[in-house]
């Protein structure tokens, strides 16, 4: 049981039509000039763009905008946004979209007051000391960036995808209207579900003992997704399923579940290489990577994998053959991902077998040359896990 500090100050504004209050909310926060970042156009098709622009302008707030933030957001656009914010003395940042728009906005927030290259933060060469405030209107439950202390950016130079974790990047507020997620394609709904599950499982597989409360909270989030993701995939306008997924997205990744524990995060690092090199959707890459990681490490703590199998995946415990129980749990997870339309092999992601050694080499490792906390993996281990994804 590990000591911890926890500070997740994001104001949550949840419910139908809440996005209509964005102008008033920004005004109350003291915003005078706002930069809004968004993605490739879904918010325009949704009608959300007009709602937000009109609500902000109605309050007399000056609005600037940068659209076209791509999934797995890139550094170049972040730098353009930093320049714009400096030039126009913008004082508040707003992300409208999912993890990509939010992460690009968070990177802008820490980049503006920094004299050096914002990539220094992602390369681990410097730590942010200040940030502009960030607000969010969430349109996809997935990355959890709306409540998390992290952001993930891809540097076009070398296609390197790296994360920055720092409490300064936690959003000041986040607005959630489940109806805004009705237009999500089934694939993005399912990828979001995989990511929420992955954030929970990264924390669930820990070496810390006596963490029963957070074990049960993790199991609850996993049950919530297993129950609601298929509903949302089958009926995109099911309000309750969309609402449950939206709140699970935040709770899975705002560190509420991290209390007393040390998360693993190797599966995320393995999946980041797939997204950086092949532009795989983050959640889809995790649906491939996580079961492969599990298969490679389950012998490290068979009992924990048995608990996952029985408490989460509904497998019956075979006390004479615990390893088989553990393996059945992993197989059940893979089947679940498949059932909601996720890929479970590298070939489905379009990743050629010939590149696996390079991927294993590029995976971000710590100073000791390993990645992961539950089991510390070397480059050779990473390669073995990529081979299990074939
Ligand atoms: O770009 P637009 O046109 O908006 O379309 C998006 C995009 O194609 C679409 N979409 C979003 N809301 C929609 C919608 N389409 C229709 N209706 C809606 N309501 O969905 C696609 C994916 O959007 P994106 O923002 O990329 O999704 P997600 O939230 O999964 O974010 C992925 C990024 O977050 C990072 C990932 O690595 C990836 O770069 N992550 C960020 C984390 C964090 N900051 O804490 C943690 C995560 O582990 C993750 O690494
Ligand atoms: Zn993730």
State the average pLDDT over residues 147-171. 96
State the average pLDDT over residues 195-223. 98
Residue to substitute in 98, 145, 185, 273 for testing ligand 1 pocket (most ligand atoms within 8 angstroms of CB): 98
In the chain, what are the domains?
11-180 (3.40.50.1970), 184-388 (1.20.1090.10)
Q: Which ligand 1 atom minimizes the distance to the CA of 272?
A: 37
Q: What is the pLDDT of residue 351?
A: 95
d(CA 232, CA 236): 5
Q: What is the pLDDT of residue 174?
A: 98
Q: What is the pLDDT of residue 54?
A: 98
Q: What is the pLDDT of residue 252?
A: 98
CA-proximal residue: ligand 1, atom 43 (nearest):
145
Supply 369's token pair.
């040359």
CA-proximal residue: ligand 1, atom 16 (nearest):
184
Ligand nearest to the CA of residue 72, numbered in listed order: 1
Q: What is the pLDDT of residue 371?
A: 98
Sign, CA dihedral 262-266-268-272, equals positive
Backbone angles phi, psi at 134, to 5 degrees: -125, 130
d(CA 222, CA 252): 9
CA angle 197, 146, 95 (to 5 degrees): 135
Residue 126 confidence class, pLDDT cut points 50, 70, 90: very high
State the average pLDDT over residues 332-342. 98
Q: What is the pLDDT of residue 112?
A: 98
CA-proximal residue: ligand 1, atom 20 (nearest):
188
Sign, CA dihedral 163-167-169-170, equals positive
d(CA 78, CA 33): 18
Q: What is the pLDDT of residue 210?
A: 95
| DSSP string across 107-148 | HHHHHTT-SS-THHHHTTS--------EEEEE--SSS-TTT-
Q: Which ligand 1 atom minimizes the distance to the CA of 182?
A: 19
Please write down the long-range contacts of 46-54, taking CB distance under 8 Å and 24 or more positions apart: 46/139, 46/180, 46/183, 48/19, 48/96, 48/137, 48/139, 48/180, 49/96, 51/19, 51/20, 51/22, 52/19, 52/22, 52/94, 52/96, 52/137, 54/23
pLDDT tens, residue by residue, 355-370:
999 999 999 999 999 9
Supply 68's token pair.
């076209």
Residue 283 confidence class, pLDDT cut points 50, 70, 90: very high
d(CA 247, CA 237): 16
Residue 248 confidence class, pLDDT cut points 50, 70, 90: very high
Ligand 1 within 6 A of CB of 47: no
pLDDT tens, residue by residue, 32-88:
999 999 999 999 999 999 999 999 999 999 999 999 999 999 999 999 999 999 999
d(CA 223, CA 196): 11
Backbone angles phi, psi at 135, to 5 degrees: -115, 160
The Å distance, Cα 45 to ligand 2 centre, comes to 26
pLDDT tens, residue by residue, 4-13:
999 999 999 9
Residues with CB under 5 A from ligand 2 (ion): 195
Q: What is the pLDDT of residue 171?
A: 98
List Cβ neighbours of 40 (8 Å cut-off, separation of 6 or more): 67, 68, 69, 70
Q: What is the pTM of this model?
A: 0.98
Supply 311's token pair.
């408490």
Q: What is the pLDDT of residue 323?
A: 98
Supply 115's token pair.
């004299």
């Amino acid at each position: 049981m590990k000591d911890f500090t926890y500070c997740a100050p994001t104001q949550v504004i949840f419910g139908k039509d809440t996005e209509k209050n964005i102008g008033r909310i920004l005004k109350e926060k003291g915003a005078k000039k706002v930069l809004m970042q968004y993605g490739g156009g879904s918010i325009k098709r949704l009608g959300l763009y007009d709602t937000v622009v009109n609500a902000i302008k109605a309050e007399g707030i000056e609005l600037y905008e940068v659209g076209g933030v791509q999934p797995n957001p890139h550094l170049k656009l972040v730098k353009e946004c930093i320049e714009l914010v400096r030039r126009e003395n913008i004082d508040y940042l707003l992300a409208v979209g999912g993890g990509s728009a939010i992460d690009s906005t968070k990177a802008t927030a820490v980049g503006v007051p920094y004299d050096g290259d914002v990539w220094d933060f992602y390369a681990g060469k410097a730590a942010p000391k200040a940030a502009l405030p960030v607000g969010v209107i969430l349109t996809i439950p997935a990355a959890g960036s709306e409540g998390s202390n992290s952001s993930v950016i891809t540097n076009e130079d070398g296609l390197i995808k790296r994360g920055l974790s720092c409490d300064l990047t936690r959003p000041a507020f986040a607005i959630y209207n489940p109806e805004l997620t009705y237009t999500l394609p089934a694939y993005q709904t399912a990828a979001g579900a995989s990511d929420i599950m992955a954030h929970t499982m990264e924390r669930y597989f820990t070496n810390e003992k006596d963490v029963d409360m957070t074990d049960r909270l993790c199991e609850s989030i996993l049950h919530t997704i297993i129950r609601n993701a298929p509903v949302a995939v089958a009926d995109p306008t099911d309000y309750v399923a969309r609402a449950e997924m939206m709140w699970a997205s935040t709770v899975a990744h705002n560190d509420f579940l991290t209390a007393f524990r040390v998360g693993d995060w190797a599966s995320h690092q393995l999946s980041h290489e797939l997204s950086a090199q092949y532009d795989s959707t983050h959640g889809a890459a995790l649906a491939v990577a996580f079961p492969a990681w599990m298969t490679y490490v389950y012998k490290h703590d068979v009992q924990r994998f048995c608990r996952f199998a029985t408490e989460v995946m509904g497998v019956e415990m075979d006390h004479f053959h615990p390893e088989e129980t553990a393996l059945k749990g992993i197989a059940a997870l893979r089947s679940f991902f498949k059932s909601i339309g996720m890929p479970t092999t590298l070939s489905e992601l379009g990743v050629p077998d010939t590149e696996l050694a390079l991927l294993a080499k590029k995976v971000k490792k710590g100073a000791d040359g390993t990645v992961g906390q539950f089991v510390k993996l070397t480059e050779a281990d990473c390669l073995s896990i990529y081979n299990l994804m074939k």
